[in-house]
Structures are given as structure tokens and as C-alpha cells.
Structure 1
Amino acid sequence: MASFTKRNGKWQARISWHDENGKLHQKAKSGFATKAQAKDYATQMENELINGVDIAADPVFADYFKTWYETYRLPKISKATAGNYIISSRVITKYFGDIRIKQIKRSTYQKFLNDYGKDHSFGTMKELTSKIKACVKSAIADGIISKDFTYNANITYNKALTRKPEYLSISELKQLISALNDDLRPDNVKPYIVLTAIYTGARFSEILALTWKDVDYLHRTITINKSVDYKYNLGFKPTKNESSNRTIRVNGELLKILAQLKTNQTPLLFAKTPQSFKNSLLQDANLYLRSTLERIGIKKRDYTFHALRHSHVAFLLSQGIDIYAISKRLGHSNMTTTINVYAYLIDEYKHKLDDEIEQKLAQL
């Protein structure tokens, strides 16, 4: 129920309602120039009440974001991922300050993206916006807001800071594999780790977590069902998400190479325990990879271990492997994720496939 009063030439709207426990609540807003404006506001509030919106709740957006990720995200994410949420929370606090969540409009949010995106890469903006979108959906589910102010927002970013991941051609991959084979000796696991990445496309933390129980020589498969928190030396941790748990087929050459490590007599392929890995291992692997590429005359700017995953995808696409099979092999939850991440590669091979389609149609 709404009531209206006029004070000092301005109209006030007061909305009264009872919650499910019978408790009376009231919400008032003043400053309307006309009674019609006050009635419009009251109608909007009453409609939101009908739609389950808690019109009395209006937390500061930065506070709500912090409470949301601490409640729904923190208990099930790694320490490294938690650090990313903390950084995002600081960004939101700095930009939005004490602005309450109901005050934020689509235009407000888009202005934030435009401003913050000026000095940040696409990857940074994509990660930040995905967190904010999830938070806003939670606020809608909690009945705090009725509309998604992130809807159809455009991600803006600094193109100069955004680099397309580099990948190796087939001939370059063959050169690298040959150089790595020359480095193979069981007391140096780095070339084995890099080769595993080339042949599987697995993530660095997933490769480190492999045990001999995960390797099936009979069926030529490797099972990925955990990862290693090497950054904080916390041992095993779950994979990135449920879909990352997978069993993939591998070639006999990789299995033969990995068998050399059995002489180390360790439960894990590359270490005695998951705590054995140094937190500098990824940096060391990147340095080894780049030095090996330089040694064989391959120049790639800032080529990293993760780029091996892109090279794996590039090779499979070049061989005409279906995107669905690639998505499953990478451990993505759906093909949309694969298409979004590797869109630049898919576009490159689309031209090749278009030529093949044209040739096939000409045979009709």
C-alpha cells in the first residue's frame, strides 16, 4: 500500500508491506516535483514487491560483491583463484566506492567498462566482467535487484596490451619435439613435461599432478582428475572445474618417452609428492621452453608454456579434427568455451575449409 504527502512543495511516496512473517516494513522517498511522479515511483516499487524483489535491501555494490564471493566462491576455489577475486573486489571498491547496487544502471556499468578498459587487456577485462556478471545474477536471485545491469554490455579494452597467443606450426612443432628428445634424461623432467603438453594439450598444473595410476599403457590413455597447487605448495587440488576431469587417448610415442621416468621410482610421473614442486617451476619451465626454441632458431615473442595448449589445438584443427572432440580433449564444459578461446585459430582454418567445401561442391 502506498501513501503520498506534500512537504515544502515536494511530494513524498511511502510504501508499506508485510513480509512472510507478518512484520511491517516501510520505504519512503521524497523530492518528487509532482504527485504523479511519486505515484509512478510507488507503482514501480509495488511491482518489484510482486516480483519478489526486496525493495528494502540496497547494499553497497562493493560490499555485496565481497560478501558474495566469500560466501559462494571462496570455499571451493584455490588460493591463487581467491587472489584474483580479491583483486577484482579492490577494483570494484575503488571505482564504485559507496554506490549502492540499485543505483547502478546499464549506462553506469558501461562507463566503468569504458574507463577501466582503457588501460587493460582483453583477458583482464573478460575475467573481471565474468565475475561481476555472476555476482549480479546472484543479486537478482536474492531479490535485491530485478534487472541485470550487465546485460548486453560491451567489453572495451586496450588493443595494444592484448596479444593474440602465439602457436607453433607443424614444422616448428617437429623441430621442438626433436630438440626435446635430445634433452631426455630421467634426472631432468622439464623436457618430459613439455612433451606431455605438446601431445595432450593439458594444463601445466594438470600435468604435474599425473601419477602412474593415471597412465593406462594397455588402452593408451591418460586420466586427468586432479591438479597441483605448485604456486603455494599445497599439494593436490581439484581440476579447474568438473568438466576438466577427463580421460584422453595419447600416442604410443609419448607413452614410450614417459616410461623412461619409471627409473626414478616416484609415485608421480615428475616428482615424489605433489609438494615436491617448487613455486618457481612454471617460470623455470617457461625459461627452458624459450631457450630451447631459441637454440633451434625459432623466434616467438613471449612464448609461454600455456601457448603449447594453443599449439596443440592449432595442430588438431589443421588435421581436420572436429571441434567437439577438441573441446572434450581440452576439458571444456562446452564447445562455446572452446570456440570463444580459440576463435582466432578457428577463423584461420575456416578459410582452408571453405576452399575444401568449394572443391567438394564442384564435384556434384
Structure 2
Amino acid sequence: MIKELENGKWLVDVSLGTDPITGERIRPRREVSTKKEAEELEAEIKNKYKQNHRVLKEKIEFLDLLELFYEHSEAAHKGTYPENMTYSINKHILPYFKKSILQSIRKKDILNFRKHLQSKTDKEKKLSNKTINNIMTILNQIFNVGVLEEILTSNPCDNIKRLPKEYKKMKFWTPQEFKEFLKLIPTDQLLFKTFYTTAYLTGMRCGEMLGLKWIDIDRYKKEIDVNKASTFINGEHVLIEPKTKTSIRRISINSKLLRLLDQWRHEQEELFNDLGVFHSDQTLIFQYKDTPPRKDIFSRKIKYFCSNDENLKVIRLHDLRHSHVALLIDQGEEYHTIKERLGHASIRTTIDVYGHLFPNKQKAMAEKLDDII
């Protein structure tokens, strides 16, 4: 509304509804010198409010924003997005926010959500700070889409610091322990012997291994070409780019591992022939039926095989990667060599994760000082 005042000035009085939190009317009022200025100011206030506070008017639900987020994710990842991201959304984020209206979500609500994550357990195991930080990163990305689409003026996750890293004792198998583990695998289950041996002697990530095809093995150079990873999106198998650019690498392998892979390939060809499945260089190395392999079976089998030896500690599938690094360190390999083999983005990552496994040089240095006196 525009109104001329007794003092000759013009009043701009714009009603913009009510605040969703306080319930008070949003009604900016300003005085200007001329009618033209008043008309321009009124238009400016309305346009600015429409652009910056669209969400207040539309009352967009979190579910609507989540749908937009998936559209953006599909575009960014060429029709795919990581399976663990959708798991985190469905398991942790959606149950908490699904009834929320976006304009009512503030920074304190995000902090309360993080406290909620810290207090809950997943499969009878408390969520680690790393897992919670990953969930919060996904939530931040969801709200960023809201800002990008101009349905939010700001991201309520902004300026929320990550939880500190938790340093737990790393589990790994020594060469002797790994040999004991191999003895627990029945001779007629060559697939598992080959898979775990490859993991132990290369340090590859599980997704990278399950994405390997026979064409990725260079028999003459004795190298494995790591250029993709296997995952399942909405139940469908897809091969995606590895975790980082540096994850695309070539890994040298030893002769015994190459012979073991050859042995498994021969058995796999016979298995596929019995199943009536075509076999070629494009076949996934660790496929054992007419569908691509999932990592679950390889995780479960570690516990199953270890159950036959009460003296052998159980480790996770990913701990075979840690075991490989411990093996390299024991053999005297340097950080840079290990970084390249693992496909880490920076040497800092290698040092942060595995630095404590390197032998302490100070003791040897101190002993040399005895020669001085």
C-alpha cells in the first residue's frame, strides 16, 4: 500500500504475510519523498521478498527438496549416485526430517539432529564420528540444492564444524595370520581364496576389486589396471569411476598371485559353461553366478571361515587393505610408494591413516649416540 502523509511524504506499507516461527506479521514500512519513489520501493520490496523468501510463501517440505537433490545427483553422476549415500539418507536423514517444513529448519535443528545421531546405534554399534560427519556432509549437500534452486536463502548446515577424528587401534593380519586364514578356506572354494589373496597382496578397495574384468590384467607386465568400481544403484549393478582421480592406477602383482588368478579363471570358465553364461575378457573377475557379485558374501565369509579357529582374530573386509599396508611397511616401503599403490589423493592421507604403523626411528637414533661418549 502507498499512502500520502500530512507532512507531504509518502508511506510504503507492504504486507508480506506472517513469520512461520513467531507467527507475527511481516510488514515493512518506510517513508520516501515522492510518489514515484514510493512505487519503485514497493515493487523492490515485493520482488526482493519473492526472490529471497520464496520458501516462506510456498512452505516447501523436506521431501520436495530431497526429490530435487536426487535430480541434481543423477545429473552430476551421469545417472548414478553412490549406494551408501542413499542408504544414509533412508536410514538416518529421512526418518528425522521427512515431516519438516524447510523454512522452520534452523542451525539449532541441525545440531539437534547431530546429537540424535551421536545417541543412536546402528546394528547394535554406536555410530562413529566419521560416519556422522559423512551423514552431515550429505545433509549439507541436500540443503545446498535448496539454495541453488533459490527456495532457501541460506544453508542451515553452514559453519557447523565436523566432529573430531577418533583414533582406534587398527586391525590387520600379519602374513602368518593370513596364511592361517587361507588354511581355513576349503579347497573347493577357490573363488574366496583368490579374492582374499588379491585383497591382501594389492590393498585394493572392495568396490575396485568387484569391478575388475579379466581384460584389466596385463599378464606380460604383471599389472592390474584399476579404472572403475562396482556398486548397486536401486538394485541395479553399475560400474562407476573410482573414488578419486588418483584411484585410477596400475598395481604390480607377484607371479604367485597371477598363477592363482589364472587358476580361478579356468574354474570360472567351467562354472559359466555349466550355467550357460558367456565368458570373455569382459567378464567380471570375481563373478561366480549369472549376476554380478556383491560385497556382502565376501564380508560374511570372513567371519564364517574364522569361526573354525578361535585363536584367529576376526577382521573386516576393509581391514585387508590395512593389512596390505602393514605388510608393505614391514618390508620397508616408503610413504610415497604406498600412497601410489593405494590410490590416495595425497601423501597426507597416507600419513594420517597409517603413520602410526611406521617404526619409531628415535630409538635407533638414540642408540647411535652411545658411540659419541
Change in Cα spacing, 1:66 to 1:313, as seen in structure 2 (3 Å) is: farther
Give 5+ residue unaligned stretches, structure 2. Answer: 4-11, 31-40, 122-126, 270-278
Q: Tell me whether 1:85 sits opposite 2:98 in the alignment.
A: no
Between 54-63 and 229-238, the greater mean CA deviation after superposition: 229-238
Question: SS state of the match for residue 352, structure 1?
Answer: coil
Aligned to 1:275: 291
Distance 1:276 1:312 in 2: 26
- After TM superposition, the structure 1 = structure 2 runs for residues 20-59 of structure 1, keeping only pairs within 5 Å, are 27-29=16-18, 49=48, 54-58=52-56, 59=60
Aligned to 1:252: 255
Aligned to 1:14: 14
Change in Cα spacing, 1:167 to 1:235, as seen in structure 2 (3 Å) is: same
Between 188-197 and 223-232, the greater mean CA deviation after superposition: 223-232
Change in Cα spacing, 1:28 to 1:281, as seen in structure 2 (3 Å) is: same
Change in Cα spacing, 1:231 to 1:282, as seen in structure 2 (3 Å) is: farther
Q: Tell me whether 1:60 sits opposite 2:61 in the alignment.
A: yes
Q: Quick one: which of 197, 205, 208 aligns to 1:206?
A: 208
Question: SS state of the match for residue 52, structure 2?
Answer: coil
The CA deviation string for residues 137-156 of structure 1, in whole angstroms up to 9 with x for no partner, is 32333334444432342456
Change in Cα spacing, 1:345 to 1:234, as seen in structure 2 (3 Å) is: same
Tell me the TM-score normalised to structure 1 length.
0.67
Q: How many positions carry a matched residue from both structures?
A: 323
Give 5+ residue unaligned stretches, structure 1. Answer: 5-11, 16-26
Contact 1:220-1:255 at 8 Å conserved across structures: yes
Contact 1:201-1:309 at 8 Å conserved across structures: yes
Change in Cα spacing, 1:354 to 1:106, as seen in structure 2 (3 Å) is: farther
Distance 2:233 2:25 in 1: 59
The CA deviation string for residues 320-362 of structure 1, in whole angstroms up to 9 with x for no partner, is 65555544433445556x35xx84543x247825667889999
* Greater C-alpha radius of gyration: 2
Q: Tell me whether 1:114 sits opposite 2:118 in the alignment.
A: no
Contact 2:184-2:305 at 8 Å conserved across structures: no
Contact 1:209-1:274 at 8 Å conserved across structures: no
Q: Quick one: which of 326, 342, 364 aligns to 1:314?
A: 326
1:202 Cα deviation from its structure 2 partner: 1.6
Distance 2:71 2:369 in 1: 56
The CA deviation string for residues 158-202 of structure 1, in whole angstroms up to 9 with x for no partner, is x9xx89474225xx2333136527858575211111011111122
Tell me the TM-score normalised to structure 2 length.
0.66
Question: SS state of the match for residue 360, structure 2?
Answer: helix
1:214 Cα deviation from its structure 2 partner: 1.0
Aligned to 1:287: 303
Distance 2:199 2:362 in 1: 30
User: What is the alpha-carbon root mean square deviation over aligned residues?
Assistant: 4.7
Q: Which amino acid aligns with 1:253?
A: K
Distance 1:140 1:358 in 2: 58
Contact 1:201-1:330 at 8 Å conserved across structures: yes
Change in Cα spacing, 1:133 to 1:188, as seen in structure 2 (3 Å) is: same
Change in Cα spacing, 1:249 to 1:154, as seen in structure 2 (3 Å) is: same
Contact 1:53-1:143 at 8 Å conserved across structures: yes
Distance 1:322 1:88 in 2: 40
Contact 1:229-1:236 at 8 Å conserved across structures: yes
Q: Tell me whether 1:138 sits opposite 2:145 in the alignment.
A: yes
Question: SS state of the match for residue 225, structure 2?
Answer: strand
Q: Which amino acid aligns with 2:264?
A: L
Change in Cα spacing, 1:284 to 1:118, as seen in structure 2 (3 Å) is: closer
Distance 1:150 1:191 in 2: 46
Change in Cα spacing, 1:174 to 1:13, as seen in structure 2 (3 Å) is: farther
Distance 2:290 2:169 in 1: 29
Q: Quick one: which of 218, 223, 226 aligns to 2:220?
A: 218
The CA deviation string for residues 19-42 of structure 1, in whole angstroms up to 9 with x for no partner, is xxxxxxxx455777999x877xx9
1:280 Cα deviation from its structure 2 partner: 5.4
Change in Cα spacing, 1:227 to 1:32, as seen in structure 2 (3 Å) is: closer
Q: Which amino acid aligns with 1:55?
A: H
| Percent pairwise identity | 19
Question: SS state of the match for residue 222, structure 1?
Answer: strand
Change in Cα spacing, 1:182 to 1:361, as seen in structure 2 (3 Å) is: same
Aligned to 1:298: 312
Aligned to 1:23: none
Change in Cα spacing, 1:332 to 1:176, as seen in structure 2 (3 Å) is: same
